[in-house]
Chains A and B, each alone.
Chain A
Amino acid sequence: MFGKGLLKGLGITFKRMVGPNITEFYPEQKPTLPTRVRSSLALDRSKCISCNMCAMACPNKVIKLTSEKDENNKKVLKTYSMDVGRCLFCGMCTEACPTQAITVTQEYENSVYEPDELHWDMIARAERKGKEG
């Protein structure tokens, strides 16, 4: 019949119209993210052995860390900074980490006002996180 396709199209849009919306009201309601989302990184300072493997694995040279030796001649983490503006969130640092010190997290509200704020001091962040949590 001529015009069958037109009627079918109208039917489909009407079904969509009366059906449920898929809008997420983001600022009021936080979305439920897929489990594989990689949107932030977190450091567990106590686990870190300052081996520098994360910095070596990073394709964009995001990670810079310094360490010093304690009385037992063991390396202790002193500073750990990430230039997140260059970070891909590829997660290769977490794969390289032998002690699971650096992990991928699902925090996603990472926007900042100043470019300088993109240099994350991971130790300070971890402490702040500990306080908040």
Chain B
Amino acid sequence: METLNNLLQTLNNLFLIIAEAIRGLFADPHSVWANLTMDVINFIIVVVIVVLAALILILLERKIAGWTSQRTGPNRLGPRGWFQTIADALKLMGKEDVTPAGADKLIFKIAPMIIFCLPMMTLGVIPFGKGMAPLNLDLGIFYFVAISSISTLAFLMAGWGSNNKYSLLGAMRAVAQMVSYEIPLLFSLLGVVMITQSFNLGVIVEAQSRVPFIVLQPLAFVIFIIAGLAELNRAPFDLVEADQEVVAGPFTEYTGLRWGLFFLGEYGNMTAMAALAATVFLGGWQGPVFLPGYVWIFMKIGIVIFFMMWVRWTFPRIRIDHLMHLAWKVLLPLSILNIFLTGLGIYIYRLVMGG
């Protein structure tokens, strides 16, 4: 029993032990160079997480689309089609890279890169285990939301740089939608911040050792998931891309790997949003059974992502005016009500506990 406990403890702290070992290679384990090395390693790990997530999720999306409509999904390459992503990536790489005449070349080329960079920046503040946040920022949530809202700008850049009026219109629609949904998204997170009195994601996870905040803030969680789906431009809120209706909006002029970067970026952003949901509402690396913390958080991220895909292949696309009504007339008042109720709850709690 004792040895088993020790083993689990070691597994739980595996990455911390490895990090300590690497720091130990330096004469002074907390010198600038040691810190720099650790930062570079952390960065590489986050990049690997984003790329792996994108590769796996593209296939998973197609598989789930298949299963939902009683098909098997891709089934040719590899065992039961699980290597299909390789073929997809090769196909995208083999395509001609077209930059339209009259396009604003710099903006046109930089937009997909920005989209793909954002999840790497946002995932950096997620604690993947006890003390395992690549960047331990005190303004974690604030940073996350601020960075992820840059994707709005990247969409506008893609639409503007394409020198195509339909792309520009698509980009305008994207901006209108994403700006609208950012407000309820932020307000839904405020309830949790009020309870924990901290923007630091590590502190928020620590505060969920007894109950995850989905129990205390169910309304906020629902608002967060809906607004998050809209923020990610995923069905049923994918009016921006809307494959069947408006030939992919701001991405109309993109080909090959540039278009692929938008695609990968979408899945990376999805991972980041799911990670935030898992951290803030589902208890992050804390779990009822003693498993290593990183296993818990990736399990929770997986569940949230599965839910997002499940929703995508269940609901029809929402209409544009309904989309705006939902954001401004339903979600925003509800999220403000949630903040009000949370404040009232905290006040009553203090009154009862005499704090």
A interface residues (Cβ-Cβ under 8 A, vs B):
6, 9-10, 12-14, 16-17, 19-23, 25
Contact = CB atoms under 8 A, between A and B. Distances in A.
A19 B310 contact: no
Contacts of B311: 10
Interface of B is mostly: loop
7 contacts: A10-B311, A12-B314, A13-B68, A13-B310, A16-B67, A20-B70, A23-B75
Contact of B71 (A6, A12, A23): A23
Nearest to A25: B75
Given A19-B70, A21-B70, A23-B70, A14 B315 contact: no
A17 B313 CA distance: 10
B64 interface: yes
Contact of A10 (B64, B69, B314): B314
Contact of B68 (A6, A17, A25): A17
Interface of B: 64, 66-72, 75, 310-311, 313-315
Contacts of B75: 23, 25
B217 to A, nearest CB: 18
Contact of B72 (A6, A16, A23): A23
B71 A17 contact: no
A21 B71 CA distance: 5
A21 B310 contact: no
A11 to B, nearest CB: 9
Given A9-B314, A9-B315, A10-B310, A17 B72 contact: no
Contacts of B70: 16, 19-23
